[in-house]
A and B are shown apart, each in its own frame.
Chain A
Amino acid sequence: QSVLTQPPSASGTPGQRVTISCSGSSSNIGINYVYWYQQLPGAAPKLLIYRNNQRPSGVPDRFSGSKSGTSASLAISGLRSEDEADYYCAAWDDSLPVGMFGGGTKLTVL
């Protein structure tokens, strides 16, 4: 069971804005960077957001990340069919210490 909690699923129609939450604790999200990954079917994960809210080059600005306290969120605006994928949050936990991923959120574009 993941210590970082994500909703198992999310959905939206093309053009909509969707958000995916990631809830942690004071020893992980509360004090460390949050990262988001996108995994398309059959592919390796891809870095989507780094250091809470930074986008790597090549990632559209439709994707944005935020962090507040012990929670983080990924927002996708102008939803497209190609955004249908699994999304994972991740953070280091200082108390254990271990790295951890959220359980993943499967995004469906209706």
Chain B
Amino acid sequence: QVQLVESGGGAVQPGRSLRLSCAASGFTFSNYAMHWVRQAPGKGLEWVAVVSYSGNSKYYGDSVKGRFTISRDNSKNTLYLQMNSLRVEDTAVYYCARDEGAGRLWLFGFDYWGQGTLVTVSS
């Protein structure tokens, strides 16, 4: 069965960096675009970034552009999110999610989600 397991969250001070990982299993990882989605405490969902199945195409939400980098290692079935220059407003649960468009660039539909990892940015 499809599984997505995030790790790497924790408490960090403003301005510091953190790298999240998402280990995928149960499907051919290299066939699917992958996304990061976050949810601040008590708030709605916010799309963060997408990487195509090959890793060649990437897009970011305006609030993280220039600070966050999405990447993937298809040999390790792992998705990453490098977060630099963290701000208090980046505090959220971060989910990785699989795009439902197998073999396509992406369709922006998330058919599987991880359980999420909490990132807390505070001084």
Chain A positions near chain B (C-beta within 8 angstroms): 2, 32-33, 35, 37, 39, 44-47, 50-51, 56, 86, 88, 90-92, 96-104
B113 and A46 contact, CB distance less than 8 A: yes
Contact B44 A44 (CB under 8 A): no
A31 to B113, CA, bound (A): 25
Task: Find out whether the CB atom of A35 lies under 8 angstroms from the CB atom of B45.
Answer: no
Residues of A near B45 (CB, < 8 A) are 37, 39, 45, 88, 90, 101, 104
Query: Are A99's CB and B50's CB within 8 A?
Result: yes
Residues on B lying within 8 angstroms of A by beta carbon are 35, 37, 44-47, 50, 59-62, 95, 100, 106-111, 113-116
Complex: A90 Cα to B47 Cα, angstroms? 9
Chain B: minimal CB distance from A21 (Å)? 16
In the complex, the answer to whether B47 meets A99 with C-beta atoms within 8 Å is yes
Contact of B108 among A32, A45, A56 (CB under 8 A): A32
Establish whether residues A50 and B59, one from each chain, have CB atoms under 8 Å apart when the complex forms.
no
Residue contacts A-B, CB under 8 angstroms, 21 given: A33-B107, A33-B108, A35-B109, A35-B110, A37-B45, A44-B115, A44-B116, A45-B37, A45-B110, A45-B113, A47-B109, A47-B110, A50-B111, A56-B111, A90-B109, A91-B108, A92-B106, A92-B107, A96-B62, A101-B47, A102-B44
Tell whether, in the assembled complex, residue B107 and residue A98 are in contact, meaning their CB atoms are under 8 Å apart.
no
Contacts of B61 in A (CB 8 A): 98-99
Interchain nearest-CB distance for A9 vs B (Å): 13
Main secondary structure of the interface of A (DSSP, over half): strand
Measured CB to CB, the nearest residue on chain A to B112 is A47
Q: How far is the CA of A37 from the CA of B44 in the complex (A)?
A: 12
CA distance A101 to B48 in the complex (A): 11
Q: Are A101 and B110 in contact (CB under 8 A)?
A: no
Tell me which residues across on chain B come within 8 A of A104, comparing CB atoms.
44-45
B residues in contact with A33, CB < 8 Å: 107-109
Q: Which residues of B contact A86 (CB under 8 A)?
A: 44
CA distance A35 to B76 in the complex (A): 29
